[in-house]
Structure 1
Protein backbone atom coordinates (compact mmCIF):
# COMPACT_ATOMS: atom_id res chain seq x y z
CA UNK A 1 0.00 0.00 0.00
CA UNK A 2 1.21 3.44 -0.91
CA UNK A 3 0.59 6.23 1.66
CA UNK A 4 0.12 8.77 -1.13
CA UNK A 5 -3.01 6.88 -2.23
CA UNK A 6 -4.59 7.61 1.16
CA UNK A 7 -3.49 11.25 1.15
CA UNK A 8 -4.86 11.84 -2.33
CA UNK A 9 -8.53 12.72 -1.89
CA UNK A 10 -8.26 12.17 1.87
CA UNK A 11 -9.93 14.61 4.22
CA UNK A 12 -8.01 16.53 6.85
CA UNK A 13 -9.93 18.59 9.38
CA UNK A 14 -8.38 21.62 11.07
CA UNK A 15 -9.35 22.28 14.66
CA UNK A 16 -10.70 25.67 15.56
CA UNK A 17 -9.14 25.22 19.00
CA UNK A 18 -5.58 26.09 19.91
CA UNK A 19 -3.76 23.59 22.11
CA UNK A 20 -0.86 23.49 24.52
CA UNK A 21 1.43 20.50 25.03
CA UNK A 22 2.25 20.22 28.73
CA UNK A 23 4.67 18.12 30.75
CA UNK A 24 3.21 17.33 34.14
CA UNK A 25 3.02 14.58 36.74
CA UNK A 26 -0.71 13.88 36.52
CA UNK A 27 -3.67 13.48 34.17
CA UNK A 28 -6.09 16.25 33.31
CA UNK A 29 -9.77 15.25 32.94
CA UNK A 30 -10.39 17.54 29.96
CA UNK A 31 -7.20 16.70 28.06
CA UNK A 32 -7.47 15.98 24.35
CA UNK A 33 -4.69 13.43 24.83
CA UNK A 34 -2.64 12.01 27.68
CA UNK A 35 0.60 10.09 27.25
CA UNK A 36 2.06 8.43 30.34
CA UNK A 37 5.62 7.23 30.57
CA UNK A 38 7.71 6.14 33.52
CA UNK A 39 9.26 9.56 34.05
CA UNK A 40 6.58 11.99 32.92
CA UNK A 41 3.04 12.57 31.77
CA UNK A 42 2.29 14.68 28.72
CA UNK A 43 -1.14 16.20 28.29
CA UNK A 44 -2.50 18.08 25.31
CA UNK A 45 -5.15 20.55 26.40
CA UNK A 46 -7.00 23.46 24.89
CA UNK A 47 -5.10 26.67 25.61
CA UNK A 48 -7.83 27.91 27.95
CA UNK A 49 -7.20 24.93 30.27
CA UNK A 50 -3.45 25.43 30.76
CA UNK A 51 -3.76 27.34 34.02
CA UNK A 52 -5.64 24.42 35.58
CA UNK A 53 -2.59 22.18 35.13
CA UNK A 54 0.43 22.12 37.39
CA UNK A 55 2.79 21.80 34.46
CA UNK A 56 6.58 21.64 34.54
CA UNK A 57 6.74 22.87 30.96
CA UNK A 58 4.18 24.25 28.51
CA UNK A 59 4.53 24.52 24.75
CA UNK A 60 1.57 26.66 23.61
CA UNK A 61 0.14 27.60 20.22
CA UNK A 62 -0.63 24.31 18.44
CA UNK A 63 -3.47 23.59 16.01
CA UNK A 64 -4.68 20.05 15.34
CA UNK A 65 -4.89 18.48 11.89
CA UNK A 66 -6.95 15.28 11.97
CA UNK A 67 -6.68 12.77 9.15
CA UNK A 68 -10.31 11.72 8.65
CA UNK A 69 -9.62 8.50 6.81
CA UNK A 70 -9.60 4.82 7.59
CA UNK A 71 -5.99 3.77 7.68
CA UNK A 72 -5.26 0.05 7.84
CA UNK A 73 -2.75 -1.11 10.44
CA UNK A 74 -0.74 -2.71 7.62
CA UNK A 75 -0.11 0.69 6.00
CA UNK A 76 3.58 1.47 6.28
CA UNK A 77 4.96 4.99 6.11
CA UNK A 78 1.81 7.10 6.32
CA UNK A 79 3.00 9.37 9.11
CA UNK A 80 6.50 9.36 7.63
CA UNK A 81 5.06 10.68 4.37
CA UNK A 82 3.09 13.38 6.21
CA UNK A 83 6.03 14.38 8.42
CA UNK A 84 8.41 14.47 5.46
CA UNK A 85 6.05 16.61 3.38
CA UNK A 86 5.56 19.05 6.24
CA UNK A 87 9.31 19.10 6.98
CA UNK A 88 9.88 20.08 3.34
CA UNK A 89 7.61 23.07 4.06
CA UNK A 90 9.67 23.81 7.22
CA UNK A 91 6.77 22.85 9.50
CA UNK A 92 7.51 21.14 12.82
CA UNK A 93 4.99 18.55 14.01
CA UNK A 94 3.79 16.90 17.19
CA UNK A 95 2.09 13.60 16.29
CA UNK A 96 -0.61 11.69 18.15
CA UNK A 97 -2.39 8.55 17.05
CA UNK A 98 -5.41 6.79 18.42
CA UNK A 99 -6.71 3.38 17.41
CA UNK A 100 -8.35 4.66 14.23
CA UNK A 101 -7.18 8.24 13.74
CA UNK A 102 -3.94 10.14 13.28
CA UNK A 103 -3.55 13.72 14.47
CA UNK A 104 -0.72 16.09 13.63
CA UNK A 105 -0.32 19.25 15.66
CA UNK A 106 1.42 22.18 14.01
CA UNK A 107 2.24 25.60 15.38
CA UNK A 108 -0.49 28.11 14.62
CA UNK A 109 1.95 30.30 12.68
CA UNK A 110 2.81 27.30 10.46
CA UNK A 111 -0.80 26.33 9.78
CA UNK A 112 -1.10 28.07 6.38
CA UNK A 113 2.09 26.38 5.11
CA UNK A 114 0.94 23.00 6.45
CA UNK A 115 -2.48 23.31 4.82
CA UNK A 116 -0.94 24.38 1.53
CA UNK A 117 1.46 21.41 1.56
CA UNK A 118 -1.29 18.90 2.39
CA UNK A 119 -3.43 20.32 -0.42
CA UNK A 120 -0.47 19.79 -2.76
CA UNK A 121 -0.54 16.12 -1.72
CA UNK A 122 -4.22 15.96 -2.73
CA UNK A 123 -5.86 16.31 0.69
CA UNK A 124 -9.20 18.06 1.05
CA UNK A 125 -8.95 20.46 3.99
CA UNK A 126 -12.02 21.06 6.16
CA UNK A 127 -11.98 23.92 8.65
Structure 2
Protein backbone atom coordinates (compact mmCIF):
# COMPACT_ATOMS: atom_id res chain seq x y z
CA UNK A 1 0.00 0.00 0.00
CA UNK A 2 1.25 3.51 -0.72
CA UNK A 3 1.69 6.01 2.09
CA UNK A 4 -1.40 7.91 0.93
CA UNK A 5 -3.51 4.71 0.88
CA UNK A 6 -2.26 3.76 4.33
CA UNK A 7 -3.14 7.23 5.66
CA UNK A 8 -6.63 7.05 4.11
CA UNK A 9 -7.49 3.68 5.66
CA UNK A 10 -5.88 4.61 9.00
CA UNK A 11 -7.84 7.88 9.17
CA UNK A 12 -11.15 6.13 8.74
CA UNK A 13 -11.56 2.77 10.46
CA UNK A 14 -14.06 1.05 8.20
CA UNK A 15 -17.27 -0.61 9.27
CA UNK A 16 -18.99 -3.21 7.13
CA UNK A 17 -22.47 -4.71 7.15
CA UNK A 18 -23.09 -8.37 6.38
CA UNK A 19 -26.29 -9.16 4.52
CA UNK A 20 -28.18 -12.41 5.20
CA UNK A 21 -29.39 -13.27 1.69
CA UNK A 22 -27.76 -15.87 -0.51
CA UNK A 23 -26.71 -14.17 -3.73
CA UNK A 24 -25.56 -15.27 -7.17
CA UNK A 25 -23.52 -13.69 -9.95
CA UNK A 26 -24.95 -14.72 -13.30
CA UNK A 27 -23.41 -14.32 -16.74
CA UNK A 28 -25.85 -13.58 -19.52
CA UNK A 29 -25.28 -12.96 -23.23
CA UNK A 30 -24.49 -9.43 -24.40
CA UNK A 31 -27.70 -7.40 -24.69
CA UNK A 32 -29.73 -10.03 -22.83
CA UNK A 33 -33.01 -9.03 -21.23
CA UNK A 34 -33.27 -9.50 -17.50
CA UNK A 35 -34.93 -12.89 -16.93
CA UNK A 36 -38.14 -13.21 -14.93
CA UNK A 37 -36.44 -15.47 -12.41
CA UNK A 38 -33.97 -12.73 -11.43
CA UNK A 39 -35.08 -11.56 -8.01
CA UNK A 40 -34.03 -8.43 -6.23
CA UNK A 41 -32.18 -8.71 -2.93
CA UNK A 42 -30.13 -6.41 -0.67
CA UNK A 43 -28.14 -5.72 -3.81
CA UNK A 44 -29.43 -6.14 -7.35
CA UNK A 45 -27.00 -5.14 -10.05
CA UNK A 46 -26.90 -5.28 -13.82
CA UNK A 47 -23.67 -4.54 -15.63
CA UNK A 48 -23.72 -4.70 -19.40
CA UNK A 49 -20.78 -4.49 -21.78
CA UNK A 50 -20.35 -5.30 -25.45
CA UNK A 51 -19.27 -8.84 -24.51
CA UNK A 52 -21.55 -9.84 -21.63
CA UNK A 53 -24.27 -8.91 -19.21
CA UNK A 54 -23.60 -9.70 -15.56
CA UNK A 55 -26.34 -9.88 -12.99
CA UNK A 56 -26.12 -9.96 -9.19
CA UNK A 57 -29.38 -11.18 -7.72
CA UNK A 58 -30.97 -13.43 -5.13
CA UNK A 59 -29.61 -16.92 -5.61
CA UNK A 60 -32.76 -18.88 -4.82
CA UNK A 61 -34.33 -18.79 -8.29
CA UNK A 62 -31.28 -18.98 -10.56
CA UNK A 63 -31.74 -21.99 -12.86
CA UNK A 64 -29.04 -24.66 -12.74
CA UNK A 65 -28.51 -24.29 -16.50
CA UNK A 66 -27.58 -20.60 -16.13
CA UNK A 67 -23.84 -19.82 -16.00
CA UNK A 68 -23.47 -18.60 -12.42
CA UNK A 69 -21.56 -18.59 -9.15
CA UNK A 70 -23.37 -19.06 -5.87
CA UNK A 71 -23.87 -19.03 -2.94
CA UNK A 72 -22.35 -15.66 -2.18
CA UNK A 73 -22.65 -13.39 0.85
CA UNK A 74 -22.58 -9.60 0.47
CA UNK A 75 -20.83 -7.08 2.69
CA UNK A 76 -21.15 -3.33 2.20
CA UNK A 77 -18.98 -0.53 3.51
CA UNK A 78 -21.11 1.51 5.92
CA UNK A 79 -21.72 5.17 5.21
CA UNK A 80 -21.21 7.23 2.13
CA UNK A 81 -17.72 7.09 0.63
CA UNK A 82 -16.12 10.06 -1.05
CA UNK A 83 -15.52 9.24 -4.72
CA UNK A 84 -12.08 10.84 -4.46
CA UNK A 85 -11.03 8.57 -1.54
CA UNK A 86 -7.96 6.50 -2.31
CA UNK A 87 -7.20 2.97 -1.12
CA UNK A 88 -10.57 1.91 0.29
CA UNK A 89 -10.88 -1.31 -1.73
CA UNK A 90 -7.17 -2.08 -1.45
CA UNK A 91 -7.46 -1.86 2.33
CA UNK A 92 -10.47 -4.18 2.33
CA UNK A 93 -9.28 -6.68 -0.26
CA UNK A 94 -5.71 -7.16 0.98
CA UNK A 95 -6.71 -9.07 4.15
CA UNK A 96 -9.01 -11.27 2.05
CA UNK A 97 -6.26 -11.97 -0.50
CA UNK A 98 -3.89 -12.89 2.32
CA UNK A 99 -6.57 -15.29 3.65
CA UNK A 100 -7.06 -16.68 0.11
CA UNK A 101 -10.70 -15.62 -0.04
CA UNK A 102 -11.99 -14.93 -3.56
CA UNK A 103 -14.13 -11.83 -4.08
CA UNK A 104 -16.54 -10.21 -6.49
CA UNK A 105 -16.71 -6.44 -6.01
CA UNK A 106 -19.21 -3.80 -7.01
CA UNK A 107 -19.36 -0.11 -6.37
CA UNK A 108 -22.32 2.23 -6.27
CA UNK A 109 -22.21 5.99 -6.13
CA UNK A 110 -22.27 5.86 -2.32
CA UNK A 111 -20.33 2.76 -1.31
CA UNK A 112 -18.47 -0.44 -2.14
CA UNK A 113 -19.83 -3.99 -1.97
CA UNK A 114 -17.78 -7.13 -1.59
CA UNK A 115 -19.27 -10.55 -2.28
CA UNK A 116 -17.51 -13.66 -1.01
CA UNK A 117 -18.38 -17.35 -1.17
CA UNK A 118 -20.82 -18.00 1.67
CA UNK A 119 -18.61 -20.81 3.00
CA UNK A 120 -15.85 -18.20 3.51
CA UNK A 121 -17.97 -15.35 4.90
CA UNK A 122 -16.99 -16.00 8.54
CA UNK A 123 -13.31 -16.13 7.56
CA UNK A 124 -13.73 -12.83 5.70
CA UNK A 125 -15.21 -11.23 8.82
CA UNK A 126 -12.31 -12.50 10.90
CA UNK A 127 -9.74 -11.22 8.38
CA UNK A 128 -11.35 -7.77 8.43
CA UNK A 129 -11.51 -7.68 12.23
CA UNK A 130 -7.81 -8.55 12.43
CA UNK A 131 -7.13 -5.62 10.09
CA UNK A 132 -9.05 -3.18 12.33
CA UNK A 133 -12.46 -3.11 10.63
CA UNK A 134 -15.75 -3.78 12.33
CA UNK A 135 -18.37 -6.08 10.86
CA UNK A 136 -21.99 -6.30 11.98
CA UNK A 137 -25.22 -7.77 10.65
CA UNK A 138 -26.97 -5.44 8.22
CA UNK A 139 -29.81 -3.42 9.68
CA UNK A 140 -32.98 -3.79 7.59
CA UNK A 141 -33.87 -0.59 5.75
Q: Give yes or no for TM over 0.5.
A: yes
More strand by percentage: 1
Determine which structure has the larger helix proportion and give its number: 1
> What is the DSSP-based 3-state SS (H/G/I as helix, E as strand, rest coil) of the residue aligned with 2:104?
strand
1:40 aligns to what? 52
Alpha-carbon deviation of 1:97?
0.4
CA distance in 2, matches of 1:113, 1:46: 22
RMSD: 1.9
Aligned to 1:104: 114
- Aligned to 2:33, which of 26, 29, 49? 26
Aligned residues: 123
Cα separation, 2, equivalents of 1:54 and 1:100: 34
Consecutive unaligned residues in structure 2, runs of 5 or more: 1-6
- Larger of the two Rg values belongs to structure: 2
Q: What is the TM-score normalised by the length of structure 1?
A: 0.86
Structure 1, unmatched stretches of 5+, are none
Using structure 2 for the length normalisation, give the TM-score.
Answer: 0.79
